[in-house]
Amino acid sequence: MEKLLLERAGRIHLNRGGGCRAGSSPGPGRAARSSSPPAAPDLGESPMPMPLLKVRPEDFRVTEVLGLPTASRAASTHTYLRLWKNGVTTHEALGGLAAALGVAAQDTAAAGLKDEDGVTEQYISVRGLLSDRDLERANAAGRSPGGDRIWRVSAHATGTAALRTGVLDGNHFQLVVRGLDEAAAAALDEGPGRHQHFFVNYYDTQRFGVPGGPKQTHLIGRALLAGDEEAAFRLLRRSGSAEGARALVHEGTAEEFWRLLDPRVPVFYRCADASYAWNAQVRALLTEVVGGARVAHMDRDGIPYAFATARDVVPALLALRPELDYVRYRWTDGSCVRSTAARPTVLQTHITVSGVGPDELHPGRFAATISFFLPSGGYATTAVHQWFLQMFGAESATREDAAPSQDGANPQDGATAVPAGSTIA
């Protein structure tokens, strides 16, 4: 079947630039999206444009999967809510919820961080037992961001503990891939409806910065770990994140600023440094195990990656080293706690293809709907990027030019090329 796909699709070029926004960056950190969809990429003589993700928020849907123990209201200390959001990060929604309810930010919690540029649903917890009136007040606040930036909550259940990272089962994704040419659309339409896919479990680019901004969350974290709060503050001011915007107007010292934040935010930056180090480990391992023409080396938004260009390469990595240790940081009992855990080097999923047809937003091009499940910690767009790369070969990663939008905006400010990363804890 792989041969059939290659014959149908010919040479497919993917753009490897363009940042992708995910909830794993702590703040909104960007201007509002343009209402105009990007134009189909102009690739001259190239037979295949780069696939586009997130042309519209509803093109990227994420539903959290979590087995959540509950208790009777009489025995409970926490309320569990279902958070629906579009255009805001999980951190931003939690902050708005806490402010609306008049509770401390640390009284709200989530099991994972969800993408900003999409329609996402997840569970959150709030200390205390909330009433219907509390939820009405919260949802009034959730409508206040305006435009397509909105969130709302609904009651789910009650229980005896706050949510925490590490308990999430995973996420289900339903994505629309746009801008395909006829050969690629035919390959997807006439190929199998369900694809088994192994991919390297990289932290994707949104882990390291917001769209259009420098990818430097790991550098901020590294400075914090070194005790240099002033250097971390200077980097943060240039980051384009929500915290960066606050830092730009802060009139006190760097030390005072970091103490003003929800303590989970500085912990996020420390985790980003650990994520960068883990990526380097698995990248070196893949290069050592395979190397040669079957590994494509790329620098995307300043973050280096190495990807397999054939389907049999990644299972070989899995057989050799199924896990690598990584360092993680958590805010626990009033302090930042460092620990070590194992992270899978490779993830497996099944990608279902449906709805292949004309792309109504890009005349002459085609779109396809794909859906799949990833365990906690997996990034959806690195899965999709590697899937295309393995199907269509190394040449799919060679193109450098980015797709302009209709209003001339950078594609990082709207639709995103498949190679840029996205999601999600």
For the annotated catalytic residues, the residue numbers are 115
As a whole number of angstroms, the distance between CA 28 and CA 92 comes to: 7
Q: For residue 31, what are the contacts with CB-CB under 8 A and spacing of at least 6?
A: 413
As a whole number of angstroms, the distance between CA 269 and CA 264 comes to: 9
As a whole number of angstroms, the distance between CA 326 and CA 18 comes to: 27
End-to-end CA separation in angstroms for the chain: 32
As a whole number of angstroms, the distance between CA 353 and CA 282 comes to: 29
As a whole number of angstroms, the distance between CA 345 and CA 318 comes to: 7
